[in-house]
Chain A
């Protein structure tokens, strides 16, 4: 097990390095620099001085190693679009709204999806199943900004029940949380349904029925436990996926979160912030997959790597 984890960590390090190099090169290959904006033109001499002060006049590989060395010391630089703070301070300020909304969305959506999937699997090929599957397919195939749009149209514009945008009042959080919950709900409904159907057809379930165990105990004690395995592995990656979802949800509901910075850092050539955002997301995805795999291996003795016997 330890060898497996070490191997995976090495692979994570390799992936992370590749991504950082590719993203760094791509980022700098985009024409223009942070001071080339048109609305406030900067004199060439001033621009050269600014670039020099930020180290942007140095060769790319020097910039890359300097930045990565700083990153290893948890220094992600200063965002050009808001030079009064460090990138870390900006993240500390902008991440909480995204985290609260996205987290609430996943925490509400996942259990709902599990219930839906269970209902669909237990009432297979009835209207319950069809309705749940239709719901799940809709949630996965309709882009999140379309769902947000529909929510705003119905609940804010036509029914006038809830505010369409804003962040101050908790009432304004309801619609964005629903929009965030759509994907986890749909994913979990699909996973749960197929995982439960897989287990329900196993011979041991027939044996349990034959020995007269109540259907409730069969489902909750035996089937659900076996079906839960694949469901555990999708949780973390999905949680982190809400970070990119925030680009759309927050734009639609005008939430002052992280989402807008993904777009603006690319548009404004805000190199440090752009690099920090992509590196963080990449790192979190790497770790999420790693942790999921380890948890999966721990929970499922059948695939425990190397160890055991």
Chain B
């Protein structure tokens, strides 16, 4: 019998976790909808094609109804997935880009480097992300890319801590000391040995940073300092829908449900991935 790789066991553990598998499938469907949005909707997200039918309730023609400005609401929700997912993934990518080097340096060198990075993290832990994000949003006037940067600014901490712990645990292993004895520079050891060994916490940190970024974006857009209209953002739609809640429930309910389902699916998928890749971290 051929020996089974750790990846095989990780896959088995993941497949056993029904919630994670279902969440993964839901996330996949949402991603496909976001990618192929122009193919599944009949109008553009900015087109006020149905002004005479504004506020129409959901029907077979308009699945999610029509919004206050005469736009097909299903179209807006589907394009909203694009905004939410793009920001989530981009912010997570930037978080990883900031978190890996800082975590690796703190974990590998220890001492004052570790102290400095930990103080930096402390700085980020005592300022509520939302307040800082509001201030930064005012400073930069919101906008798509700014939101990504703000979310990454607060998302890297988790990745950094995970990488730091992993690097610290591997720093004194025999193979690392062997590499050092053979003349490998610290940079080479970190790049070729320590970071490849931290790949599973990095993946987990990446996936778990996505829902946080999506929630931050929705919160900021809800407050009116996130992605500016007419770009469809679920947070923004919830904010608008609030005003019509008593009369046209669909304007608030559909974006709320879309945001909740996407964030929930991503989180459960990330939790499942973490449990599968690193069984010792389970339940934290």
Query: Are A and B a genuine interacting pair, yes or no?
Result: yes
Interface residues of A (CB under 8 A from B): 11, 14-15, 18-19, 23, 26-27, 29-30, 137-138, 140-143, 145-146, 149-150, 152-153, 157, 193-194, 197, 241, 243-244, 247-248, 252, 262-263, 266-267, 274, 277-278, 281-282, 285-286, 289
Given A30-B138, A146-B256, 18 other A-B residues pairs in contact with their CB atoms under 8 A: A15-B122, A19-B123, A19-B126, A19-B127, A27-B135, A141-B211, A143-B222, A146-B260, A153-B249, A241-B128, A244-B130, A248-B219, A262-B131, A263-B223, A266-B135, A274-B135, A278-B127, A278-B135
Shortest Cβ distance from residue A10 to the other chain B in the assembled complex, whole angstroms: 11
How far, in whole Å, are A59 and B139 apart by their CA atoms in the complex? 19
How far, in whole Å, are A174 and B151 apart by their CA atoms in the complex? 33
Chain B hits for A26, CB < 8 A = 135-136, 139
Instruction: Tell yes or no: B125 within 8 A of A by CB.
Output: yes
Contact call A143/B218, Cβ cutoff below 8 A:
yes
Interface residues of B in 238-284 (CB under 8 A from A): 238, 242, 245-246, 249, 252-253, 256, 259-260, 263-264, 267-268, 271, 283-284
How far, in whole Å, are A30 and B132 apart by their CA atoms in the complex? 13
CB-contact partner of A252 in B119, B138, B242, B263, under 8 A? B242
Interface residues of B in 99-146 (CB under 8 A from A): 119, 122-123, 125-128, 130-131, 134-136, 138-139
CB-contact partner of A157 in B126, B127, B131, B245, under 8 A? B245
Whose C-beta in chain A lies nearest to the C-beta of B223? A263
Interface residues of B (CB under 8 A from A): 119, 122-123, 125-128, 130-131, 134-136, 138-139, 211, 215, 218-219, 222-223, 238, 242, 245-246, 249, 252-253, 256, 259-260, 263-264, 267-268, 271, 283-284
Contact call A281/B131, Cβ cutoff below 8 A:
yes
CB-contact partner of A149 in B127, B131, B252, B267, under 8 A? B252
How far, in whole Å, are A149 and B260 apart by their CA atoms in the complex? 12
Given A150-B256, A262-B134, A266-B135, A145 contacting B127 (CB threshold 8 A): no
How far, in whole Å, are A15 and B284 apart by their CA atoms in the complex? 27
What DSSP secondary structure best describes chain B's contact surface? Answer: helix
Chain B hits for A30, CB < 8 A = 135, 138-139
CB-contact partner of A142 in B122, B127, B222, B260, under 8 A? B260
Contact call A247/B267, Cβ cutoff below 8 A:
no
How far, in whole Å, are A266 and B130 apart by their CA atoms in the complex? 12
Contact call B135/A23, Cβ cutoff below 8 A:
yes
Chain A hits for B126, CB < 8 A = 15, 19, 282, 285-286, 289
Chain B hits for A23, CB < 8 A = 127, 135
Contact call A152/B245, Cβ cutoff below 8 A:
yes
Contact call A143/B246, Cβ cutoff below 8 A:
no
How far, in whole Å, are A106 and B41 apart by their CA atoms in the complex? 44
Chain B hits for A266, CB < 8 A = 134-135, 138
Whose C-beta in chain B lies nearest to the C-beta of A240? B128
How far, in whole Å, are A286 and B256 apart by their CA atoms in the complex? 34
Shortest Cβ distance from residue B225 to the other chain A in the assembled complex, whole angstroms: 8
Contact call B284/A194, Cβ cutoff below 8 A:
yes
How far, in whole Å, are A241 and B126 apart by their CA atoms in the complex? 10
Residue pairs across A and B with Cβ atoms less than 8 A apart, 5 shown, are: A15-B119, A141-B215, A142-B260, A143-B219, A266-B138
Shortest Cβ distance from residue A148 to the other chain B in the assembled complex, whole angstroms: 10
Chain B hits for A241, CB < 8 A = 128
Given A26-B136, A153-B249, A142 contacting B130 (CB threshold 8 A): no
How far, in whole Å, are A150 and B242 apart by their CA atoms in the complex? 11
Chain B hits for A244, CB < 8 A = 128, 130-131
- In the A-B complex, the 5 residue pairs with the closest CB atoms: A194-B283, A285-B126, A244-B128, A141-B267, A141-B263
Contact call B245/A153, Cβ cutoff below 8 A:
yes
CB-contact partner of B125 in A18, A143, A274, A285, under 8 A? A285
How far, in whole Å, are A195 and B122 apart by their CA atoms in the complex? 24
Contact call A263/B134, Cβ cutoff below 8 A:
yes
Shortest Cβ distance from residue A165 to the other chain B in the assembled complex, whole angstroms: 11
How far, in whole Å, are A150 and B122 apart by their CA atoms in the complex? 35
Whose C-beta in chain A lies nearest to the C-beta of B271? A137
Contact call B123/A18, Cβ cutoff below 8 A:
yes
